[in-house]
């Protein structure tokens, strides 16, 4: 059974704080690791698709790293803002189209 774990489950930070969370996934049969942001009442929105070991991707204040050999990815948010409040989901893909999701990290940023 393929398992994707995310930690922490939830996080409360003050505006301006930087934060990071972890996604752990199987290190065998790796094809890609996806990060999504899911705001309440909206569609999950793709942040990054990462495929190469050592990959680092950035979008504004959000960045992500990937280690496929040990099976983890970190998502970093620099200078969190209230609009960053959302659930952040990671999903592992092996060599089929299927994505296996983690349970997500729920981030709340207080003004």
Partner 1 sequence: DAMVIQNPRYQVTQFGKPVTLSCSQTLNHNVMYWYQQKSSQAPKLLFHYYDKDFNNEADTPDNFQSRRPNTSFCFLDIRSPGLGDAAMYLCATSEGGNEQFFGPGTRLTVL
Query: Least distance from C-beta 98 to partner 1, angstroms?
Result: 6
3-class DSSP assignment, residue 84: helix
Nearer to partner 1, 12 or 15 (CB): 12
Tell me how crowded residue 82 is: count the other CB atoms within 10 A of its CB: 10
Return phi, psi of residue 44, to 5°: -55, 135
Nearer to partner 1, 36 or 80 (CB): 36
Query: Least distance from C-beta 31 to partner 1, angstroms?
Result: 8
Closest CA to 31 of 102, 104, 103, 99: 99
Are the CB atoms for 38 and 96 separated by under 8 Å?
no
Compute CA distances 2 → 30, 44, 49, 57, 58, whole Å: 11, 22, 19, 25, 27
Query: Least distance from C-beta 43 to partner 1, angstroms?
Result: 5
Nearer to partner 1, 17 or 72 (CB): 72
Query: Least distance from C-beta 76 to partner 1, angstroms?
Result: 21
Nearer to partner 1, 48 or 109 (CB): 48
Enumerate binding residues for partner 1 (CB under 8 A): 4, 9, 31, 34, 36, 41-46, 49, 89, 93, 96-104
């Amino acid at each position: 059974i393929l398992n994707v774990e995310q930690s922490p489950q939830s996080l409360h930070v003050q505006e301006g704080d930087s934060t990071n969370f972890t996604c752990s996934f199987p290190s065998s049969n790796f094809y890609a690791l996806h990060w999504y942001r899911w705001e309440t009442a909206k569609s999950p929105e793709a942040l990054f698709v990462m495929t190469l070991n050592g990959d680092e991707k950035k979008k504004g204040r959000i960045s992500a790293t990937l280690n496929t050999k040990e099976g983890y990815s970190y998502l970093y948010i620099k200078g969190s803002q209230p609009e960053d409040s959302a659930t952040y989901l990671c999903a592992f893909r092996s060599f089929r189209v299927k994505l296996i999701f983690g349970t997500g990290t729920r981030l709340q940023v207080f003004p």
